Amino acid sequence: MTEKSASVHWEGQGKGGQGVISTETGTLNRIPYGFANRFENDRRGTNPEEILGAAHAACFTMAFSFAAEKAGLVISEVDTSASVRLVTQGEGFAIDRIALTLIATGTGIDKAKFQEVAAGAKRDCPLSKALASVPEITLEATLKEETTATGKTGLVP
């Protein structure tokens, strides 16, 4: 069992307020966030949606790596991104979609098996389970075939 923590300090009200986010590891240490970071594309800080996206992408990638190893798939690289959509809902806001995009590089992998393992990792990832109330969590999984003869990789058709 493991437990991790983060903290937020906020000053002010509503749009005029500002906060800072910190994590127990110190990776995030008083990183600013506020209305402009979340809704006006101010890139001088962070926002909850991008932190959630990073966490989901990281969790899913690790789940995929373990599932691929268990299934006997030889994967040399994995790149994952997550796009989190925040929409107006009534008087407030809601996250209505998270789109995961996985690009994995491997050798001699059956495409159907790859897709099955990726879908299982999405289903079994602890953050996917925690985010089950999000109406839509999608996964686009692409396999790149690694070729040792030329040293080049290419998308598997």
Would you list the DSSP string of 39-77? HS---SS--HHHHHHHHHHHHHHHHHHHHHHHTT--EEE
Strand order in the sheet with 6-11: 6-11, 18-23, 31-34
Q: Taking a C-beta distance cutoff of 8 angstroms, is the pair 98, 55 a contact? A: no
Q: What is the pLDDT of residues 4-54, one digit of tens each?
A: 999 999 999 999 999 999 999 999 999 999 999 898 988 889 999 999 999
* pLDDT tens digits, 90-131: 999 999 999 999 999 999 999 999 999 999 999 999 999 999
Domain boundary assignment for the chain? 1-46, 47-155
CA 2 to chain centre: 20
pLDDT of residue 5: 96
| pTM recorded for the entire structure | 0.89
- Closest C-alpha to 75, from 101, 113, 120: 113
> What SS3 state is found at 2?
coil
- Best CATH choice for the domain 47-155 from the list 3.40.50.720, 3.30.300.20, 3.40.50.1950, 3.30.590.10: 3.30.300.20
What does the alpha-carbon distance between residue 102 and residue 121 come to, in Å, rounded to a whole number?
11
Question: In this predicted structure, what is the pLDDT of residue 110?
Answer: 94
Cα-only R_g, the chain: 19
